[in-house]
Structure 1
Amino acid sequence: MQQTKQQHFVPTGANERIVTLDVIRAFALFGILLVNMRFFSTPAIQAEMVGTSFSSNLLDTISTWFIFIFAEVKFVSMFSMLFGIGFLLFMERGEEKGIDVKNFFKRRLLVLLLFGLIHIFFFWYGDILTFYAVLGFLLLFMKGKQPRSLKKAAIITWSIIVSFFMLMASLMFLAQLENSPEQQALMENEVNRIAEVYSQGTFIEILQQRINDISVIAVGNIFLFGVILTMFFFGMYFWKTGIFTNTSENLDRIRRISKGMLMVGVLGLILASLGKVFIDGANSPWYFVKYGGLFISGPSISIFYVMSILLLLQNKKRLAKATTFLQPVGKMALTNYLMQTLVCTTIFYGYGFSLFGSVGPFGGILITLSIYCVQIAYSYFWMKRFRFGPMEWLWRRLTYGKNAVKVQRLRKAL
């Protein structure tokens, strides 16, 4: 009997979507592109290890600090929170129909992993989809937990990451390690070589460099795993306590959470800013102070942003405007995320317009705004005619197979 029911389990329909989640998702997409632009356009990771910058004027310096304070780690944290919420929505919807959807969810993650692996190896090393696909399996063990347990899990995971960076900073201050002039020169030459490969190299040469970059950031990604898990748990906690489904009844609580997270976030930003000012290479203890501060401020400021958006959307006029302009972007978030990579690699890589290493932070902000405005426009017109974004439709078809084909038709009925 259960198998028969599973054959009729279908993707979420348009009338079942929660508008605020789509709007928040759209907001997160903009912030992610704003932060990722530095990594699309420069060898940012290696440059930071050397202590060099691609800022060339005052506008670039202001832009760098603007992104650092308001966006870095904040929007990947927000997107991760939404993924945790999406997991519970997916599972609860199946349970309402009396269906065990664990196998559907596992298949959904495997398809996402396939998308992520193609993205990370053949397009851009900064992919986030592989992280979500791998860590998503852990959510199956947390689904039945009570809100208090989810909150505790989030705080413990968060504390472990921050404590590690603060401990490493303390040890590095005691060790007082420094790069030799020879090491510094070699690393600076490596930054220049990487910039040349991405700006002038062939697809194969860029592929080889991308694989090397993946190996360079592998260790750092372990800590990003911790941030993502923290936000998965916070998302599940907030969902189970009714903040997104009964917002009007939780306004006082939302305001308290917003104020509390803002205070924590400001403390984290002070630490991160000190690290950023004094950092002078990979062996600098300030490197760990910076990222310890970012891993405090990222999750907390992202929660502050989400709570602020919920409060703003209590105004019906603002909600109507956000629904018109931003909800379509959020509805096709996977498509828009991957589209950002295609556009940016075309702009910056050698097989495109070869602008890698030539655009500073201020120029990156202008490009971000241009791309996002185009995404708002085409998402609006696409969702007028179609039920899903193209990648969302493919994800559903590969997840559900032959189940409920009619519901999964891409084009809307005329």
Structure 2
Amino acid sequence: MALPTLPEPAPAPESGPPRPVRAGERSLLPDVLRGLALLGILIINVQDFAGFREWTQTGIDRVVQVFTDIFFNGRSISLFAMLFGWGAAGMLARYGVGTLARRLAVLLLIGAAHFVLVWHGDIISTYALLALALLLTGGMGARLLVTLAGVLGAWWLGKELLAAFAALGSPRPRFDGLPDLVPGMSYLEVVAGRAATFVDSLIGTSLYNGAWLIALFCLGAAAQRTGLLTRPQEQVPLLRRLAVWGLGLGLPLGVLLAWLNTRGDFAAGLLAIPVRMGGGLATALGYVGVLGLLTVRGRLGPLRAFAASGRVAMSNYIAQSLIMTTFFYPYAGARFGTWGAAPAVLLALIVGLAQVPVSAWLLARFGTGPLERLTRLLVYGRGVRREPPAS
């Protein structure tokens, strides 16, 4: 059976009466970017789900690891965080502080449930907590937001580089950050362990990554102010600069990251953090430039399909966790620690690409995803009407 096609979206209004943006008002570029970022996040997260260490990979596993480090590692999550800031800034401008604060509170609860019941790597709760800082940025213009992002980002990268250089020559082994899972653990045992650490993890992650993530949110908010994603035809020179300078800086840093991830020493692990995030931001901006230019020229081609998964990103993100933990964790498929990078990334590709047609079906049948519907119900007090089919 042929999958239904989505109607051609029109540019989303950036101001107007307080109501959810309907499908026909959505701009294509942000949803395509979000859908591609979601696939990239799964490709990187599968390392945690499967339980393999980057620096131990050999043969085809190492080839796959190098490829993902150059093109996805730190890139997809940076893009996703900027899009989160873009969306939050749009909601703040459209509805005001109260509605955005209510949405962030709902996302915090959803993220907490995801962390405790499904997977320890949740980002929704951390984003929701840190995005409260955006409530203070409503009166800031794009230039000030970029400046603020630059100051926060430079400070965070600087402290991480200093920590890495201070660790040079340390005999300590590299820290892998993988979950503490052993064969035979029951689901309740795993959940109990996550429940006991949720608050400490949320606070610790927010304190450690807070400045960097807020910087990314501010860049997304600046994009919202300028209409970079909703009116890319007005920003062609900027998109060209992002494509050239972003990829020109980010891809070489991706090669450096790939090399660092072949080393098992403590200093290499610490240095990989700022290289991953700094190069990831640069490459993510390059991807925005390239895809923005393709959008302006009407040449997105098959990439347009990712708009569907981007429109139900939260449902897809948590579905990824459900599928992967069911496959790898000891209470179900029990494959944790037995796969290398190549088969794990292949599985991630299969799952991530399968979500594209499933998302298109959800949108055609229900108008939105289940968690998106729940969120809108809790924030606005009503669900989402299904859009009529395109004539």
Q: Please tell me the TM-score bracket, short chain as reference.
A: 0.7 to 0.9
Match of 2:362 among 382, 406, 411: 382
Relative distance call for 1:117 and 1:217 in structure 2 (3 A) is closer
Worse-matched range after superposition: 215-224 or 284-293: 215-224
What is the aligned partner in structure 1 of residue 186 from structure 2? Answer: 202
Q: Does 1:66 align with 2:61?
A: no
Secondary structure (helix, strand or coil) at the match of 2:170 reads coil
Which residue of 2 is the match for residue 151 of structure 1?
146
Q: Which residue of 2 aligns with 1:78?
A: 79
Residue-by-residue CA offset, 1:101-133 (whole Å, 9 max, x unaligned): 311111111000000000111110100001111
Q: 2-side partners of 1:58 and 1:14: how far apart? A: 45
Change over 3 Å in CA distance of 1:61–1:210 after alignment to 2: farther
Q: Check whether the contact 2:153–2:215 (CA below 8 A) recurs between aligned residues.
A: yes
How far apart in 2 are the matches of 1:25 and 1:104? Answer: 22
Amino acid at match of 1:315: R
More helix by share: 1
Q: Indicate the residue corresponding to 1:5 in structure 2.
A: none
Quick one: which of 243, 249, 255 aligns to 1:258?
243
Is 1:177 aligned to residue 186 of structure 2? no
Q: 2:331 aligns with which of 346, 351, 357?
A: 351
Go from structure 1 to structure 2 and tell me whether the alpha carbon gap of 1:412 and 1:253 turns closer, same or farther (over 3 Å shift): closer
Aligned residues: 371
The percentage of aligned residue pairs carrying the same residue is 27
SS at 2:334 equivalent = coil
Secondary structure of 2:300 counterpart: helix
Report which of the two structures shows the higher radius of gyration computed on alpha carbons. Answer: 1
User: SS of the residue aligned with 2:18?
Assistant: coil
CA separation of 1:292/1:388 partners in 2, compared to 1, >3 Å: closer, same or farther?
A: same
Q: For residue 160 of structure 2, what is the amino acid of its counterpart?
A: F
Aligned partner of 1:4 in structure 2 is: none
Partner of 1:115: 110
Q: TM-score, length-normalised on structure 1?
A: 0.82
- Whether the aligned pair in 2 keeps the contact of 1:77 and 1:227 (CA below 8 Å) is no
TM-score for both structures, normalised by structure 2: 0.87
Q: Aligned with 2:261: secondary structure?
A: helix
Once the two structures are TM-superposed, the CA of residue 285 in structure 1 deviates from its matched residue by 2.1
C-alpha change, 1:373 and 1:277, in structure 2 (3 Å) is closer
Give the CA deviation at 1:263. 3.0
Contact 2:111 2:122 survives alignment (8 Å): yes
Tell me by how many angstroms 1:172 deviates.
2.0
Q: 1:211 to 1:70 in 2, by over 3 A?
A: farther
Work out whether residues 116 and 194 of structure 2, in 8 Å CA contact, stay in contact via their aligned partners in 1. Answer: yes
Residues 274 and 286, structure 1, Cα contact 8 Å, conserved in 2:
no
Is 239-248 or 80-89 further displaced after alignment? 239-248
Answering whether residue 220 of structure 2 is matched by residue 248 of structure 1, we say: no
**Structure 1: where are the runs of 5+ without partners?**
1-7, 95-100
2:211 paired with 1:226: yes
Are the equivalent residues in 2 in contact too, given 1:274–1:290 (CA < 8 A)? no
1:287 aligns with 2:254: no
- When structure 1 is superposed on structure 2, of 218-227 and 306-315 the one drifting more is 218-227
Instruction: Tell me the alpha carbon deviations over residues 213-263 of structure 1, each in whole angstroms, 9 at most, x when there is no partner.
Output: 766797566443333212111111122223223312221221112222223
Any conservation in 1 of the 2:291–2:300 contact (CA below 8 Å)?
no
SS in structure 1 opposite 2:156? helix
Contact 1:271 1:289 in 2 (8 A): no
Query: Which piece of structure 1 moves more, 258-267 or 79-88?
Result: 258-267
Q: Structure 1 residues 339, 224: closer, same or farther in 2, change over 3 A? A: same
For residues 387 and 142 of structure 2, what CA distance do their matches in structure 1 show? Answer: 38
Matched with 2:6 is none
Q: Counterparts of 1:316 and 1:265 in 2: how far apart (Å)?
A: 26
1:9 partnered with 2:18: yes
Give the 3 Å change call, closer, same or farther, for CA 213–354 of structure 1 in structure 2. farther
Change (3 A) 1:128 1:346: same
Q: Structure 2 CA distance, aligned partners of 1:236 and 1:216?
A: 26
Of 15, 25, 29, the residue aligned with 2:34 is 25
2:7 is matched with: none
Q: Do the aligned residues in 1 keep the contact of 2:116 with 2:195 (CA within 8 Å)?
A: yes
Cα distance change of structure 1 residues 270 and 322 upon mapping to structure 2, 3 Å threshold: closer
Conserved? CA contact 1:125–1:213, under 8 Å: no
Change (3 A) 1:35 1:212: farther
Structure 2 counterpart SS, 1:316? coil
CA distance in 2, matches of 1:166, 1:317: 40
> Over residues 34-88 of structure 1, what are the superposed CA-to-partner deviations in whole Å (9 max), with x where a residue is unaligned?
010111111x5xx57xxx63x3x41111111111111111111101111111122
Could you say which residue in structure 1 is the equivalent of 2:278?
A: 296
125-134 vs 356-365, which deviates more? 356-365
C-alpha RMSD of the superposition: 2.6
Quote the offset at 1:333 in angstroms: 0.7
2:13 matched to which residue of 1?
none
Corresponding position: 1:342 with 2:322: yes
- Aligned partners of 1:288, 1:217: CA distance in 2, in Å? 21
Task: Give the Å deviation of 1:159.
Answer: 0.6
Structure 1 residues 178 and 322, CA, compared in 2 at 3 Å: closer, same or farther?
closer
Equivalent in the alignment of 2:292: 310
Task: Quote the Cα distance in structure 2 between the aligned partners of 1:368 and 1:156.
Answer: 35
Separation (CA, whole Å) in 1 of partners of 2:297 and 2:241: 19
Measured in 1, the distance between the counterparts of 2:19 and 2:36 equals 27
The residue type equivalent to 2:293 in the other structure is L
Tell me the amino acid that sits aligned with residue 49 of structure 2. Answer: F
